Amino acid sequence: MERIISDRALLQVRDLNISFTTAKGDFPAVRGISFDVGRNSIVGLVGESGCGKSVTALAIMRLLPGNARLSGTIDFSGRNIVAMHEEEIRKLRGSEISMIFQEPLTSLNPLWKVGRQIDENLKMHTELKGDDRFQSVVDIMRDVGLPDPERLYHKYPHELSGGMRQRIAIAIAVACRPALIIADEPTTALDVTIQAQILQLLKDINREKGSSIIFISHNFGIIREICTSICVMYAGHLVEIAPTEKLFCEPRHPYTIGLMKAIPKTDSKGKELYDIPGKVPSITDTLPGCPFEPRCEYAFERCKRELPQFEVLGEQHESRCFLAGELR
C-alpha cells in the first residue's frame, strides 16, 4: 500500500486490526487502518458511533478488554505498543500518553477529592514529594484555568460543575506533560459555551506544551475547529484522510460528503436537515465490497464485489473510493 510516511511522526498506526472474541464468534471492530499523528498536531478521528474510533483510541492505550485481539503495529516514538509487555505500556500510560473521557462526572472517582486524583499521576510518574507535589498540582490546576486551585483541590467531583470537572480531567491528562493526549469526545457532554472554552484549552495545551492530540468526535463542526488533519472512519475502515481545510474544501469520499451535508448550517434554518439514508452496518455483517456501498448514492456494480484501495489525491490526502478522483 502506498502511503505518505512522515518520518517525524510521533505515532504511526499501521494496518491495525482489532476484533473481539465472543461466544458467538469473532467480530472485527477495526479493519486494517493506518494513520500518523505528527508531533505538535491535532488529529481528528471522526465517524458515527460504532465506527471503531473509540476502540482505536483504547487500543493505543492498550486498554481494551481481555477478549480483544490486536494485529498490525502502533509505533509510538520508535516503540511498538501492540507488542509491548503490560509493564512497559503501563509506564507509558499517564506519563507519555494520556486520555480524556467523554463524561467528566463518571470518569472521575466520586469518592476522591479532585486534587488527589491529579496528584496520583505525579505520585506515579515523578519523584516529587510532599509540598512540592502539592504545589505542582495547584500549578497544573491553574494552567487548565481552574480558579482558586488551593480551595478546589479539596472538593469532590459532585461539588463541581461539568466544565470544571472536565478541566480536572484535562489536568489529570496533562499532569505529566505527555507527548500524546487522546481525547474521546471530551466536549460532547458539555453545553455549547463550555464546549468552546474546553476546545480553546486543548488548543492552548497543544500550542504551549507541545502535546499532540488525537481528538475523537462524531461532530464535524468541532473537529474542523480544532484539528490539523482528519481521519474519517466508517464501519471499522478508514475511508478518507486529509488535512482539515483540504477535507472541507474537497471531500473525496461519498461518506465524507454525506457527513458534511449533515452539518447544521446557520443559513439553513427552516430547511430539512440532511441525513445519510440507511443505517451503519452491524459489526456482525461482513460485506465483500465497500462497507458504505449500501448507503452510497454513487455506488455501482464494482463496489459490491470489491473493497476499494486508497487512492492518493494529493499531499496527505487519500480516499478509499473508486470514484475518488471524479467526485466533486
Partner 1 sequence: MYIYLRKLFAMLATVFLVSMITFITFEIIPGDPVLARLGVDADEAQIRALSEELGLDEPLYKRFFGWITGLFTGDLGQSIRYSRPVSELIFDRLPVTLSLALISMVLIVIIGVPLGILSARYGDRLPGISISIVSQIGMAVPSFWTGIILMYIFGLTLRWVSPGGYTPWSVDPVEAFKSLLLPAVAIALPSIATVIRYTRNTVMEQMKNDYVRLAFSKGLKMNAVLFRHVLKNALIPVITVLGMITANILGGSIVIEQVFTLPGVGRLLINAISVRDLPLVQGMVLYISLVIVVTNFLIDIVYTLIDPRIKLR
Q: What is the DSSP letter of 112?
A: S
CB of 86 to partner 1, least distance (A): 9
Closer to partner 1 by Cβ: residue 158 or 302: 158
Closer to partner 1 by Cβ: residue 70 or 124: 124
Residue type, position 49, single letter: S
Q: How far is CA 67 from CA 18, 53, 125, 325, in A?
A: 10, 18, 29, 40
Q: What is the DSSP letter of 156?
A: -
Closer to partner 1 by Cβ: residue 112 or 300: 112
CB of 62 to partner 1, least distance (A): 9
CB of 84 to partner 1, least distance (A): 13
Closer to partner 1 by Cβ: residue 179 or 290: 179
Closer to partner 1 by Cβ: residue 92 or 230: 92
Closer to partner 1 by Cβ: residue 88 or 148: 88
CB of 180 to partner 1, least distance (A): 12
Q: How far is CA 298 from CA 155, 164, 232, 259, 280, in A?
A: 55, 46, 18, 15, 17
DSSP structure string for 252-307: -SHHHHHHHHTS--GGGTTSPPP--SS-PPPTT---SS-TTGGG-TT--HHHHH-P
CB of 196 to partner 1, least distance (A): 23
> Is 171 within 8 Å of 146 (Cβ atoms)?
yes
Residues that bind partner 1 (CB under 8 A): 58, 61, 63, 90-95, 98-99, 101-103, 106-112, 120-121, 124-125, 156, 158-159, 169, 172
CB of 109 to partner 1, least distance (A): 5
Longest dimension (CA), the chain: 69
CA distance 311 to 328: 15
Closer to partner 1 by Cβ: residue 174 or 257: 174
CB of 158 to partner 1, least distance (A): 5
Residue type, position 248, single letter: F
CB of 55 to partner 1, least distance (A): 13
> Is 223 within 8 Å of 230 (Cβ atoms)?
yes
CA distance 94 to 66: 21
CA distance 215 to 182: 6
Closer to partner 1 by Cβ: residue 66 or 270: 66
CB of 157 to partner 1, least distance (A): 9
Instruction: Provide CB contacts within 8 A for 133, sequence distance 6+.
Output: 119, 122, 123, 126
Closer to partner 1 by Cβ: residue 107 or 211: 107
CA distance 316 to 227: 14
